[in-house]
Structure 1
């Protein structure tokens, strides 16, 4: 019995790492073109309506390769970061949330997702920074971007916009994972099941609650995403210091674009994250269920 328990931890860790990486690769591979369009919208100025802006950007992208700019670098980063985030979250959830009373579980999910988001950001930010500079057209390739960044600022160049990314991604991670787990608890109560980490959900159930959780999180954090994009795509000055920081971007956008500027790309962001949440959590739960079935 003791040997069985000792094996359970590594098996679950391997399961969560595999499921998180597989889910991230699947979602990013399918939805990367929307992310490219969203990045371009964030960098635009003017007051064109969202649908017209989207149509113009789609027409300006000549060929599918333009929509998949930066794909190879972000799919690698997403795989590693999602594996760490979900494995970290599931481990904390099993050890600290499962035994909590029902009214305290939401706080437990929030705390676990916060720690998981912090851990994964250290892996994800360098990949995201390179991807967005390639998507925005500042560099023709990821290799060119990495070489130039290393030459100008060294290792720090890969964490340009880390604070802005954390300000955006940590609230999104907390909102998404907390809502997802709360929705699962509601579904369990509807089924009259006990709270259990082993409770399984159908692909349709995972798709619907994943879409809802990610869409809400995406809408609420859109302003943070716009600010992060503009900070990450800031050109370097002569001394290697970025010309724009969070404070400068917020003041400049407020003065020149108003509140609407902070919601540029909200439509593709909500669509992208809603679909990504559907694909991600459906794949994640399916991989977990398959692993448990064969192990």
Structure 2
């Protein structure tokens, strides 16, 4: 990543191999999931059941340390590959669009590349789907592990892997566009980093602020996604139907669609701070080699 204070997007690095972007994004996401998974589990309980943070925490605590990382494999795989694709495809789509459509304004090209990369990430929906059902304590005894969950879902047909796809498409593409637009702008207003330590600090703050903002704005979409994906078998309900159902259950108050948002943006601050800082560190290591 270039250190120029004027950059407002991820630069297109023609001088680096294509795999570097994928490797840096994937490595950063791997470290993030290992650190933040327990907090994500608490947030998930709030999203699905509409309970307080303390109640969700007590549920997880009661289940014990042996269950703390139950279901970690799907998000570890999904997030590692997802962020890898997010950075890698954004870079490649940007190059392709700039090369083949030079008449399109650069800002439009980069937004289109971000949306395309986010849409492509949707191929990983099955991992997010399995993650959701493994975190639901109502089914704690039904699935022994990740592979078992995949096998059970297969019995309901391939479509069962893709419940919640609409919600994920509504989230991934637009949020990617906002992420890559805001990332450089946030970094540009921070004090100039004159040392390596301060650069890491700036990268962490940039990722944290950008990620927390996006996570908060798209939180209701994730609430609907979690509800859609927590169901196994039966009729496939649309995003709009599920949103209306949850909205009604929560006394028709938009505020209640944000139950759990405080923990969510706290997690996003940490998660995207780690991802952005780790991405930059890995990038510098690869570029030096």
- TM-score (norm: length of structure 1): 0.80
User: Which residue does the alignment assign to 1:196?
Assistant: none
- Is the contact between residue 203 and residue 280 of structure 2 (CA under 8 Å) also seen in structure 1? yes
**Distance apart, 1:15 and its partner CA:** 1.0
Query: Any unmatched runs of 5+ in structure 2?
Result: 1-12, 100-104, 193-197
**Partner of 1:194 in structure 2?**
none
Deviates more, 1:255-264 or 1:12-21: 255-264
After TM superposition, the structure 1 stretch with the greater mean CA deviation from structure 2, 51-60 or 164-173, is 51-60
Q: Are 2:153 and 2:232, in contact at CA under 8 Å, matched by a contact in 1?
A: no
- The answer to whether the 8 Å contact 1:177/1:213 transfers is no
CA distance in 2, matches of 1:179, 1:93: 17
Tell me if structure 2 keeps the 8 A contact 1:180–1:210: yes
Match of 1:277 in 2: 272
**For the residues of structure 2 that align with 1:111 and 1:56, how far apart are their CA atoms?**
43
Higher helix content, 1 or 2: 1
Q: CA deviation at 1:179?
A: 1.0
Q: Which runs of 5+ in 1 are unaligned?
A: 1-7, 99-103, 192-200
Please give the secondary structure, in 2, of the residue aligned with 1:152.
Answer: coil
Residue 246 (structure 1) aligns with? 239
Q: How does 1:23-34 map to 2 (within 5 A)?
A: 23-34=28-39
Q: Distance in 1 between matches of 2:57 and 2:79?
A: 28
Once residues 67 and 105 of structure 1 are traced to their aligned partners in structure 2, the CA distance between those partners, rounded to angstroms, is 45
Match of 2:199 in 1: 202
Change (3 A) 1:43 1:291: same
Q: Say if 1:142 and 1:58 are closer, same or farther in 2 by CA, change over 3 A.
A: closer
Paired position in structure 1 for 2:3: none
Instruction: Indicate if the aligned counterparts of 1:36 and 1:69 stay in contact, CA closer than 8 A.
Output: no
The alignment of Structure 1 onto Structure 2 pairs a total of residues equal to 261
User: What's the offset of the Cα at 1:223?
Assistant: 0.5
TM-score (norm 2): 0.81
CA RMSD in angstroms, aligned pairs only: 2.5
For 1:38, the equivalent position in structure 2 comes to 43
